[in-house]
Amino acid sequence: MRGNAGLATILLGLYAAQSVTGSMVQTALPVVLRDAGVPLDRIGFLSLLFLPWVFKMLWAPLVDRFASPRIWILSCQGLLCLCFLLAAAFSPVDGLASLTPVLFAMAAIAATQDIATDAAGIHATGPENRVLASGASTVGGYLGFLIGGGIWLWTYAQYGWVPSMMVLALVMLLLALPVAQLNLPAVPARRGEASLLRSLGNRTLLAGIGFLILWQAGIRLGGAMAGPMLVDAGLDLEAIAWLRGAGGMVVGLAAAVVGTFAVRRFGKVAVLVLAGALALASLAGLVWWSLRPGPVPVLAALQIALMSATAISFVALYAAMMDWCAPDQAATDFALLQSLDAAIAVVTGILAGQMAEAWGYAPVFALAGVFLLLALPFTRARLDRKAIAAPLPPLPATESPT
């Protein structure tokens, strides 16, 4: 495949593959466990399975230094396929203790593939078409969300655990096929010297971290208890699978496409402000519904609106994050940002579970809105910054690039 369309197609498939595992654990498995009567506070601790995404920055320099993104990606997808086959031996309800280490290994492998895919996207695009990579990331993420959160949940509800794992193993195998067509430009000369120390010398990268914490805390907290809330509202597994799977995919895909074109036309700042306003309105509605429960379709509409705002915001935010990264250690810089994002997901997931179990859902959505309100004033100052404005620490003259 050649050209922007071919590159976008390959990146879309790769981002879908790596998000399958996360979406299954984050959105579908909590629904299964809640349906089996597992308390909300225990479900919240599933967020600990995202620790590999939190700490992936520690081994990201290895992806920058050794082999090619293609080799890393193919190796990871092959291992994920094997992990899904292994996971078929353990039931999530009766054998959760045995299944957890397998899920943790899958998370570590998917996080490593994420590092390599992000590096491929950054190297293959420039500031003028970076939204192509961020758009593919968002659309691919929602495709993975459909597979891991919707199709998987429907398969599990219809046929059980083992067939659902077999389906995901086959999906991982099919999504690996286009990687053979992945062509990337030559890597920058200093790529072999990538390190977290140099990332910490990137002042633009550090300046964006405060904004990222506030923004993603609001987004992550707002969506953490969405699935269990639908169960408590009376929906069965099949209905939730269609709503959060097919419905979420259609809405997320449409929002990501709109967000991609909007960023190209109006810029990252305007699009993120618009997404923030939509998210705040959705969160306010969810607070109201939690305090005064009404028709379930209204709850579903509010959750879909929040999904739309999330998808639109990711296109703009991820394009800015890619701009903050130094070209010669793109995997390391971007992994640092995503590790922070994953840490936010872990903390907000646990916090949301504890708050919802103790006080109900309304305080969770209210706190999410507070975080977004605190982030909005800093949008222009942080999203318009470029990594080229932040010089990196010099390397010792005796070291040669690899």
State residue 66's pLDDT score: 81
Decide if pLDDT at 140 tops 60.
yes
Q: What is the pLDDT of residue 150?
A: 76
Q: How many CA atoms lie within 13 A of 288 on its CB side?
A: 12
Confidence of residue 182 (pLDDT cuts 50, 70, 90): low
Task: Provide CB contacts within 8 A for 315, sequence distance 6+.
Answer: 131, 134, 135, 138, 256, 259, 260, 262, 263, 271
Burial of 196 (0-12, 13-18, 19+ CB in 10 A): middle
**Joined tokens for residue 28:** 């579908």
Task: Report residue 288's pLDDT band, with 50, 70 and 90 as the boundaries.
Answer: very high
Residue 174 scores a pLDDT above 70: yes
> For 84-95, what is each residue's pLDDT tens digit?
999 888 877 777
pTM (2 decimals)? 0.72
Residue type, position 346, single letter? V
Is the confidence at residue 189, as pLDDT, over 60? no
pLDDT in tens, 192-246: 577 888 888 788 888 888 899 999 999 999 888 887 888 888 888 778 877 776 6
Fold of 3-388: Growth Hormone; Chain: A; (1.20.1250)
Distances (CA, A) of 256 to 9, 251, 387: 14, 8, 24
Q: Cβ distance 98 to 90 under 8 Å?
A: yes
Which pLDDT value is given to residue 6?
74
Tell me the two tokens of residue 75: 């190796």
> What number is the average pLDDT over the span 275-286?
95
Within 10 A of 275 (CB to CB), how many other CB atoms are there? 26
Whether the CB-CB separation of 69 and 182 falls below 8 Å is answered with yes
The confidence band for 392, taking pLDDT boundaries of 50, 70 and 90, is very low
Residue 186 has pLDDT above 60, yes or no: no
Name the residue among 79, 63, 67, 68 with its Cα closest to residue 173. 79
Question: What's the residue count for the chain?
Answer: 402
Q: Which of 50-59, 173-182, 214-223, 358-367 has the lowest mean pLDDT?
A: 173-182
pLDDT band at 48 (very low <50, low <70, confident <90, very high): confident
Task: For residue 391, name the pLDDT band (cuts at 50, 70, 90).
Answer: very low
- Residue with the bigger pLDDT between 112 and 339: it is 112
Radius of gyration of the chain (CA): 20
The SS3 assignment for 59 reads coil
Q: Does pLDDT of 188 surpass 60?
A: no
pLDDT above 80: residue 398: no
